[in-house]
Amino acid sequence: MLSKLLSLLLLSACCLGTSPAAERPNILWIVSEDTSAFWLGCYGNGEARTPRLDRLASEGSRFTHAYSNAAVCAVARSTLLNGIYAPSQGTQHMRSRHPIPAEFRPYVFYLRGQGYYCTNAAKTDYNFKGKDAAIWDESSNKAHYRNRKEGQPFFAIFNLGMTHESSLFRQKKEPVTRLKPAEVFVPPYLPDLPEVRSDIARYHERVTQLDDRVGEILDELENAGLAEDTIVFYFSDHGGAIPRGKRYLEDSGVRVPLLVRVPGKWRKLSPFKEAEPVSEPVSFVDFAPTLLSLAGLEKAPQMQGRAFLGEHRKALEKGAGVFLFADRFDELYGMRRGWTEGRWKYIRRFMPQQPAAPYSNYSFGQPAWQAWREAYRKGSLKPEHARLWESPQPVEELFDTEADPWEVKNLAADPDHAARLTGMREALKQTMIAVRDTGIVPEPMFAALGREQGIVPYVRAESFDYGKNVDLAFRAGEGKDLERFNAGLGSKDPVERYWSLLGLRIAKVAGKAESRLEDEHSANRVLAAEILWVTGKQEQAKAALAKELTREIDDYSLLNLVNVLERLQIVDGLPPGAIEGLRKRAIADENSSGYVRRFLKRFEQGAPD
């Protein structure tokens, strides 16, 4: 069996265009967590102390428009690993383990087929069904390129967690910070609160710790005599960690630092001059094709990005942009998509009836988030800082990130930018169609519609009218086609029924929603009940939601249900014993990472966050 697998790997590598015997560079990835580009000195932060990263930037290429396609780790990593957008794989929901097609192979598969020794120290979190560590030669806290065979090229990842958002959670004893909180710069999208200032000062300490560790890794490479044979990448898995960073599609959440040092021996593999900034947009979907290109391989046919370095580099095409996405993060459902060409950013909310905070209650371990929420509850915020907590949210946002780098001025309603808005909206829609974005299928329907094969074959089948459904999803967010929505309720397609219901929900019009209270899919039944609630039929809605608690539904349907129960704030109004019934259901909540149990804990405390 093992010899058969090795033969398959070698055959695959040869088919991609090179020979295992060819000399190839080593490749080292240093990946930090939750670090937006603006935290580093080389990206213009005068308060930063990051000498080793700044030096790395001076020795290589500093990409000024590098993006994580998703603003949270597991979703971003599934895109990185396979070179395929998470929504094209059905991996866009945080900590989900849905099956993906077998042909969606990770870049590690191809590198190992070329003789590379591949190590990962140590985070995986790839967000699809399977054993994450099994794809590597070694994946552990001790995984290291030094364990390879003599003369064997290596690909190695060192994942550094000291900058993770949890590093800002309340601790018993905090070290004295180098910067005085009263003197730090507060980005204008944040309220100027003591806790915000304190967390900014504290996070600078974490970034300096990161810089120190990067220096140790680079020194180790140098001391081993490998620096001239090794291409080094440094980047972050997404933005963060202060509020409105991680989980948000603004640049504070998705624009990441990317530094690439290509030693003289391998300069032919990069078209960029040393120490000069690179302005062409790149994103995580491009990293897998780029790795293969650096190893002399053409990209695998299923990969969706482009190689921006290496023998098979593809120049940026005119009109090319970066596709951004956000769906369920931890326990909270929602759907947003974005498109950027570098300067201009378009964000669309498909569920604008929900506030923009929080997208995960996990964030509230951080004092700055707690303080911002408390200030909102007290009514002490400026309107621009209260907006994040209010609903409905704008369906569309358009930002000029050069004139407005902190993305606080939404230009979507500005007639001077009407043509640009239309163009970017259409670019986003056509991208979703081209990549078959599975986000238009509610996650609670994945198991029933995808069955053992996963949701990807379902949305790619000729029998599924993808264009019709994505168009309806765009209409639903605006809530302005009531005739179309009511007609869609009678469709045989459960996805069409879902978006038709959502259109009525956003319009706050009951229409024929009552007819879907016995729909075959829980997501549609729950949405129909929610429509009744917001249109004044609250007792009927409450009875329907209470009934849903008694039905045999899967974990994701149950998670969606408790999302609605919390959002409508009707937990206390449920029949006696409902919470106890929910507790029993939550015991089997394995596939959704215990998120139902998180909700239950808040319900029992009587103060949902």
The number of beta carbons lying within 10 Å of the beta carbon of residue 409 is: 14
Spatial distance between the Cα atoms of 226 and 231, rounded to a whole number of angstroms: 10
Q: What does the radius of gyration of the chain's CA atoms come to, in whole angstroms? A: 24
The count of C-alpha atoms lying within 13 angstroms of the C-alpha of 220, restricted to the half-sphere facing its C-beta, is 13
* Residue 207 CB neighbours (<10 A): 24
Question: What is the distance of C-alpha 3 from the center of its chain?
Answer: 37
70 bridge partner residues: 325
How far apart are alpha carbons 94 and 331 in whole angstroms? Answer: 8
Write the secondary structure of 29-85 as one string of H (helix), E (strand) and C (coil): EEEECCCCHHHCHHHCCCCCCCHHHHHHHHHCEEEEEEECCECCHHHHHHHHHHCCC
User: In sequence order, what DSSP letters do the residues of 277-309 get, joined into one string?
Assistant: EE-S-EEGGGHHHHHHHHTTPPPPTT--S---S
> Token pair of 119, please?
């190590």
Q: Are strands 26-32 and 230-236 parallel, antiparallel or unpaired?
A: parallel
- Residues with Cβ within 8 Å of residue 122, at least 6 apart in sequence: 139, 140, 141, 143, 159
Q: Which residues contact 594 (CB under 8 A, 6 or more apart)?
A: none
115 within 8 A of 305, measured Cβ to Cβ: no
Backbone dihedral angles phi then psi of residue 350, each to the nearest 5 degrees: -90, -10
Angle between helices 538-548 and 555-567 (to 10 degrees): 150
Rounded Cα distance between 529 and 532, Å, is: 5
Neighbours of 140 (CB within 10 A): 12
The answer to whether residues 278 and 272 touch, using CB atoms and an 8 Å cutoff, is yes
- CA dist 474 and 554 (Å) reads 28
The separation between CA 495 and the C-alpha centre of its own chain, rounded to angstroms, equals 23
**Alpha carbon distance 158, 122 (integer Å):** 7
Task: Pick the catalytic residue from 14, 15, 42, 73.
Answer: 73
Query: Which residues have CB under 8 Å from 317's CB, separation 6+?
Result: none
Closest CA to 86 of 340, 357, 304, 330: 304
CA–chain centroid gap for 570, Å, is 30
312 neighbors 299 (Cβ within 8 angstroms): yes
Paired tokens of 553? 């539904």
Whole-angstrom Cα distance, residue 112 to residue 288? 13
Please count the other Cβ atoms lying within 10 Å of the Cβ belonging to residue 6.
12
**Residues in CB range of 219: below 8 A, 6 or more apart:** none
Tokens matching residue 274? 């040393």
The sign of the dihedral angle between the CA atoms of 568, 384, 36, 399 is positive
15 is catalytic: no
For residue 341, the tally of other CB atoms under 10 A from its CB is 17
What span, in angstroms and rounded, lies between the C-alpha atoms of 551 and 563?
A: 16
| Structure token digits, residue 482 | 């009531």
Catalytic residue positions, numbered: 73
